[in-house]
Structure 1
């Protein structure tokens, strides 16, 4: 398993959500500001067209060709693309409910993805969001299926046909233990399409897929350095339906997928599926359940499937643990053995405080889109003082301290965009990090000389070549400047940034200003579709208090409308902020947009 990971130029929009106790119903909203129901799914339109024409869907964007399989090589054997009903007589989308045992790895090094899929099956609501139910191969079958993934602060629908690569009538890649079940294979295909092709899925970080499945926040723990309360951390994560994965560190690429004497695989992604404390010889023993996405090859030490320990406990404990002795890739082990053998723990939280405290809290979420551009904003880390100051800079404001504390909680996440999709062009993940500096209220951009005399007050733990880095800090209330950077200067990449801080009463009042813009948008959404047409854009802009000419409207439509000439609410907000920042002095901002400018606009 290779390392992968990142996210700030102009912030796009902001939203708030509830986190903490009501995890299942409310907290997921914290990073799902763009609601799928507001979109017009292509799936329904394409499926209806196929049914009306009496044809099966063939995806022109992801054809049944080698280009969808590989970008750097040709297959050594000839694969045949087949629809499920050409492979088995009675194909089913899901048989008896989706479960972690439906996940069996094929001939593709994407164990990181499969470990995340296995974790996804543990929560039906999360699964249903990614894998919409009621898809089948019988009623109104048209050879078309769809899935949803979280990409850079919005849910994206991916539509695929059901032609799958096979060899000798067997699926080549991800498959279910049930030969007539195909949801997991089609999910992998949709994720491959999202990232360019199947080969692009080779090697990765489980957190990457977990975040794409949930919109959650990923945190990584070093089991060799973590404190003694790691058991409680994992317990709380599983209780709150966070997704949890683990892996064994490797010292060189030669160790990748090397099997240890204990039956564990190095450099390989596993999912954590359970945690339980039982009585053994009169003493409490902590156990953890882990799953290998291969669907086989298991731990052979204490508490493994056929170990002597199971004979020493009551059969009721067997039932509590749902113990099944078979080579299905899932096994129990003592928690102390887990910490001894595994090196990394990955937790994807649905909200910033899933692992910390039980109270319900409001979070202020700042969203940024940015770019490290060679020659202007790709300044590298502090090792390069001549250019460091040219990196993108973002103003952060922590309003209030946490209850009963002097400091305020801040989480920063920086994510590199589209690096996996760009692999076919020779692009790889950059080594990234960030630093945070104390600023004065009037500081919007810190000059070169500032960094010569001031140290950062917080920074990322390390620079690393992963898609996303995420870290939690405790800082006094006040103004700060966030500086995301690559390690080396002159390296280019697009990135996305999120900043999470506890929401103050002041912010909650400002949040109401958004309703003015929502009202303008909804007033022009004549068909209640969640979008406005390009022709309705002028009316919506005028409702928001602007006057624009025909030439400017044409430019705005080109910039903010999609291929169907529709504008979603998030792009409507971007459009208004662009108008405001382009033509209005800051001091003369309209009330609804003044707060948007102050908290959203990139300071560079």
Structure 2
């Protein structure tokens, strides 16, 4: 009697973040959950093939039926991991990979069913299983199970949480362009510092003149976050040097936004947003990206420029705060109640 090795992974497709649809949707397919399967042991001596079975099952089908909802149309695709990525842990494969590599195997079809399964035989090696709904933006919870005749290793692929931020260029006041100094004096007023209200007026005036950027306007809360990020002397306002650094930062964000607003709609789709975040230096897990979309995307899953900037500012501020508190650089911090409230309520 053959004893099969098995692995089980719960997962979810969420509109705007991990519901990328099938391979017919190359711009979003890569955002689906991904699971790596390492087949080391062929079925028999002198052969290279390994047998395994993939089962994809939707959860809560009885609950959906009671609520009058149908099952989603589901299936999966299997790709061989490229040589340069073999042996790496936790690397979520990106759009370019799926556009340049052929499929190795797949479910027989996409069907509206509680479960889709197929027995497969592939040469020993590393593979990625990508479960998906047929159309993007369809939400469901699922369980992926993999059974293999011989022992096989598997894991969910997800990016590590990383912030790779450019070095900020704090110039001496004497090094700042005379034209920028003159502009600053006009904006800052007699006290030569920019307050939350002044920053809000400045940003909304500037972005309002950019016809290719959609925005509902920067809120006071967003401007407060920017000042908290840049306020090195604790005054609650920005001096010339601090405002110069913030202005360079916003200019950079504007360039990234325009580069990833691929359809030039003036707003960014949630899927474009993930690539834009990576370009800005932030790599996030699927779960964290879901939270970003819930917080900063509009009802139609679009992200306007003001929300894009606010998101990046909050991410940068949070990463910098964590780095300061992580005194031994082990990626773990301990907080007392006061510290926790300071970070969550007053951030």
By the TM > 0.5 criterion, same fold? no
Instruction: Specify the TM-score bucket, using the shorter chain as the normaliser.
Output: 0.3 to 0.5
Structure with the higher fraction of residues in helix conformation: 2
How high is the TM-score relative to the length of structure 2?
0.41
